[in-house]
Amino acid sequence: QLQLQESGPGLVKPSETLSLTCTVSGGSISSSSYYWGWIRQPPGKGLEWIGSIYYSGSTYYNPSLKSRVTISVDTSKNQFSLKLSSVTAADTAVYYCAKYLGSSWYSHYYYYGMDVWGQGTTVTVSS
Amino acid sequence: EIVMTQSPATLSVSPGERATLSCRASQSVSSNLAWYQQKPGQAPRLLIYGASTRATGIPARFSGSGSGTEFTLTISSLQSEDFAVYYCQQYNNWPRRLTFGPGTKVDIK
């Protein structure tokens, strides 16, 4: 059974870079059937998609965060990572990693939803 | 940019009753819509994709309908474990954008 686990500092200073890693177990991050992503949820608020990555390294980012976000994959460690630069208090949130449900057909990937989630990790931006 | 809205913000329902949640898109998303359930302190759980297809392991009391700009999630007979927040998500702009609605909280009447 595929499982995801987020890890990283729970406290980040303003203007610094937030770095989180998602470790995949019970399956291969290199499967052509899966995309992977990061989603966040500020305290008491809704869900915000941050970005997506394929094992090949193809990435897509939320346009509202694109200038500050980098998502990368390390297939040798079965991990993918999030970096968010120049953080402010508005970046305080629970950060989730997720596996996407979908299917790959020739060069196209059909997305259906996010069917496996990590438990989430709380990141607070404060000095 | 497609904006998602959900109504009502809060729905108070008695156990055993039917719950109907609405999700609206500011422009057509075809059937590219998913529904998630989130309980306090937990990650979201995928319920429905393709507007009406139940995800693996989701009970039959959950059903989704709609296409274009108007969507509905129906819980036919609320169980105690169904009290939660429900989010819709459009993926018509996949892979360039995934957008969640603001959520509907279903609580006990």
pLDDT tens string A35-81: 999 999 999 999 999 999 999 899 999 999 999 999 999 999 999 99
Q: Smallest CA–CA separation between B39 and chain A, in Å? A: 12
Question: Using a CB-CB distance cutoff of 8 angstroms, which residues of chain B are in contact with residue A63?
Answer: 96-97
Nearest residue of A to residue B1 by CA position? Answer: A63
Task: Encode B50-78 in three state secondary structure.
Answer: CCCEECCCCCCCEEEEEECCEEEEEECCC
Please answer whether residues B7 and B103 qualify as being in contact, where contact means their C-beta atoms are separated by less than 8 angstroms. Answer: no
**Positive or negative torsion for Cα B93, B49, A115, A46:** positive
Task: Give B-chain residues touching A101 at CB under 8 angstroms.
Answer: 46, 49, 55
CB B43 to CB A118 under 8 A?
A: yes
Mind spelling out the 3-state secondary structure of chain A? CCEEEEECCCEECCCCCEEEEEEEECCCCCCCCCEEEEEEECCCCCCEEEEEEECCCCEEECCCCCCCEEEEEECCCCEEEEEECCCCHHHCEEEEEEEEEEEEECCEEEEEEEEEECCCEEEEECC
Cβ–Cβ < 8 Å for A56, A36: no
The predicted-structure confidence for A103-124, as pLDDT tens digits, reads as follows 888 878 899 999 999 999 999 9
Q: Across all residues in chain B, what is the average pLDDT?
A: 97
Cβ partners under 8 Å of residue B60, min gap 6: B54, B76
Residue A63 to residue B34, Cβ atoms within 8 A: no
Would you state the pLDDT for residue B52?
Answer: 98
Among A119, A86, A77, residue whose Cα is nearest residue A18: A86
Asked whether the beta carbons of B10 and A62 are under 8 A apart, the reply is: no
Q: Residue B69: what pLDDT?
A: 98
- Residues in chain B with CB shorter than 8 Å from the CB of A118 are 43
Per-residue pLDDT tens over the stretch B72-89: 999 999 999 999 999 999
Is B46's CB within 8 Å of A109's CB? no
